[in-house]
Amino acid sequence: MLDAKFIVEHAERVKQNCRNRGVQADVDRFVQLEARRRAKQAEWDDLNRQANLVSKQIAQAKDPAEREALKEEGRRLREAAAEAKSLLDALLEEMLQIQKRIPNMSHPDAPVGDASANRVCRYGQTPVRPFDFPPLDHVQLAEKLDLLDLEAGARVAGHGFYFLKNEAVLLELALQRYAVEQLQQEGFTLMITPDLARNEILEGIGFLPRGPETQIYSIEGTDLGLIATAEITLGGMFADQILEAEQLPMLFAGISHCFRTEAGAHGRATRGLYRVHQFTKVEMFAFTLPEQSDSMLERFCELECRLFDGLGIPYRVIDTATGELGGPAYRKYDLEAWMPGRGEWGEITSTSNCTDYQARRLGIRYRTRGEKGTRFVHTLNGTAIAISRTLLAILENYQQADGTVVIPEVLRPWVGKDRIEPKR
């Protein structure tokens, strides 16, 4: 979340940023509450000062009547201080609830507006392939090649779940190995993270753990939810910790299952593997010094581009408009792959610089040797490989006229073949 002092001192900028992002947040109310908080804080401090002074006078008083009068005054001051503290806590809680709803500031170069304002920055190395036959979508291909069972997934867990079969299983494992080997060479520490996180971690990262708009599956009777991305667990690793400046940047690559309710999703986006309730993802995450985060975002984007150039998937890079940014994101790039079966571009990765927004909520700080105090770290996240959509993009872009699908060359060592053919 944003610093309370920053919100008060830059209220007009914060309100304009909320408008640019399409977010409702009562910034004026926050400013009013802060003024009341300062007054109530001063009142509470003064009452405590007076109560401490009276306590010392009681110890020095020799006359019994004077001592009793001082005791009565001490009780009155303590009761008044307790009442002031109760009101102060209520003000702080109301401020916190507003503060949590205020999104991060936006990068000055981020396009302003809704999705129609998204800016195409560049295209990948692989051009969009011209087909000399009508391309099938990934569901049709998967049925012909016996790679996917959506009906069994629905019987077991409901719509949006699925079974991967045969070479699709090998492709999933190959994509994981491909991503982690690339990231390990780049200095990332490899992690397999928990699939669950506490509500305080979910909320700290920026997800709503409860409520009608949540994307999180909650575990009844606990304060746990299934994670929607390893960003949650990787970001939560150092909650309430103080890191050393010389440790930064710290880079992690996390493999996890991802669970999303996909509340509100409908239509073609829910067909097949494009928008599902469970998938596997390799996620990049970084903790950096404030001056490192802008360049780290560019590095994450370049790594995503390198991974999909290596796979031979046509894509474009999108500088995401303010109205499409999640609350924590200061700036976000998406990679959108060309999906011939859908006849359109579809998001396959995203990477965001969240500056100190998540770190402030999670209490993650760093200290610099020889300097007093601590500062909040900056956090960044980025999708290396989201398996389900990458499988979709491979099947549709590598399909052949004879019904087979060619395996991307970089994945063949793990898949063990260069082509998927119909089962005989």
- As annotated, the active-site residues are 260, 275, 347, 350, 389
For the chain, give the secondary structure using H, E and C: CCCHHHHHHCHHHHHHHHHHHCCCCCHHHHHHHHHHHHHHHHHHHHHHHHHHHHHHHHHHCCCHHHHHHHHHHHHHHHHHHHHHHHHHHHHHHHHHHHHHHCCCCCCCCCCCCCHHHCEEEEECCCCCCCCCCCCCCHHHHHHHHCCEEHHHHHHHHCCCCCEECCHHHHHHHHHHHHHHHHHHHCCCEEEECCCEEEHHHHHHHCCCCCCCCCCCCECCCCCEEECCCHHHHHHHCCCCCEEEHHHCCEEEEEEEEEECCCCCCCHHHHCCCCCCCEEEEEEEEEEECHHHHHHHHHHHHHHHHHHHHHHCCCEEEEECCHHHCCCCCCEEEEEEEEECCCCEEEEEEEEEECCCHHHHHHCCEEECCCCCCCEECEEEEEEEEEHHHHHHHHHHHCECCCCCEECCHHHHHHHCCCEECCCC
